Amino acid sequence: MTKFVVPKVIISKCIEFDRCRYNGDIIHSEFVSSLKPFVEFIPVCAECEIGLGIPRDPIRIVLVNKKTRLIQPSTNTDCTDKMVKFSADFLNSLDKPCGAILKAYSPSCGIKGVKIYPAFEKVASVDTGAGFFGAAVVEKFSNLAVEDELRLSNFRIREHFLTKLFVIASFYKIAAKPSMKALVEFQSDNKLLLMTYNQTKMRELGKTVANHLKKPVTDVFADYEALLYKAFAKLPSYAANVNTLMHAFGYFSDKLTSKEKAFFLDTLEKYRLEKAPLCIPVSLVKSMIVRFGEEYLSRQTYFAPYPEELYLMSDTGKGRIK
Ligand code: SF4
């Protein structure tokens, strides 16, 4: 069984950790609960940290002299400077987080779509943007797995988030004690996953590992890390997954009966037409790997990018795929 590295994940404390919302509420999330045994959460409530207390009057983002400010209208308090300072100090204090799960639409934690108002009074919003803490997280950790909890209710977004999270965690583990042997193994074990996400970057990563310029190991790791982030920047397409599965299927096509081959190709076509989830053709290839004892494929992270206990099938369909 694959042993996964435990990633560090920043989380808005009001999601599953504390009753710290402005009205003393907590937000329940089945996904965050299921993650608890597999990640090291770093819960934080930026509004509590800047001394706003629980319960508290709501704050909102307001345009003042055409600039966004974080305001508590009932007390006429401008919390912007405190929030900006707290965010920078807190994020700079963290040791290698791999991602963040932040509360959607909060003027502090939101990463997009947060309402921006033209005045302190009750008026309609005029624009949307990121909350102050959320914006600081995105700016500092733009390469990491950063999402809000609502987008993570979408199956494909969640799958991408988890894949990125665990791949970054396993890279950070080998980077803590850099060796070319470990990097060669990492590249080899992630070959199909990289092929699926970004073939151009997969080749560039391969060249980096080959190290024809004989760079020092630490420089090779730095180059590799920068490329790895780019490789995982976007979700892979359906066509890319089909291509990878066909590549893996090629290892077995001469060992299967024509009926078995037709069944697999039919299942893959259903996936390509978005009539079957990815896990079905993936499971078929996994069963071939076990049946024929294919050692190279059995090590590929593509077939188990994150712990299987996290394969929640629920999907609200919310959240646009980036
Ligand atoms: S959204 Fe962020 S600031 Fe607001 S209660 Fe939750 S953790 Fe605190």
Please state the φ and ψ torsions of residue 248, each to the nearest 5 degrees. Answer: -70, -40
47 lines ligand 1 (CB under 6 A): yes
Ligand 1 pocket test target in 10, 14, 32 with most atoms within 8 Å of CB: 14
Confidence of residue 311 (pLDDT cuts 50, 70, 90): confident
Q: Could you give the CA distance from residue 73 to residue 130 in angstroms, rounded to a whole number?
A: 19
Does residue 321 have a pLDDT over 60? no
Q: How far is the CA of 232 from the centre of ligand 1 (A)?
A: 28
pLDDT grade, residue 316 (50/70/90)? very low
Each residue's pLDDT tens digit, 1-34: 678 999 999 999 999 999 999 999 999 999 999 9
Q: Give me the pLDDT at residue 319, please.
A: 54
Q: Per DSSP, which regions of the chain are E strands?
A: 8-12, 40-44, 60-64, 67-72, 77-78, 99-102, 114-117, 127-129, 145-148
Burial (0-12, 13-18, 19+ Cβ within 10 Å), 153: buried
Ligand 1 centre and the CA of 150: distance in Å? 14
Alpha-carbon gap, residue 284 to 87, rounded angstroms = 46
pLDDT digits (tens, 9 = 90+) for 36-79: 999 999 999 999 999 999 999 999 999 999 999 999 999 999 99
User: 253: pLDDT confidence band, cut at 50, 70 and 90?
Assistant: confident
The amino acid that residue 218 corresponds to is: T
Beta pairing partners, 40? 8
Give the model's pLDDT for residue 153.
92
Beta strands, E only, 120-191 = 127-129, 145-148
For 51, half-sphere exposure in the C-beta direction (CA atoms, 13 angstrom radius) is 8
The predicted model scores a pTM of 0.94
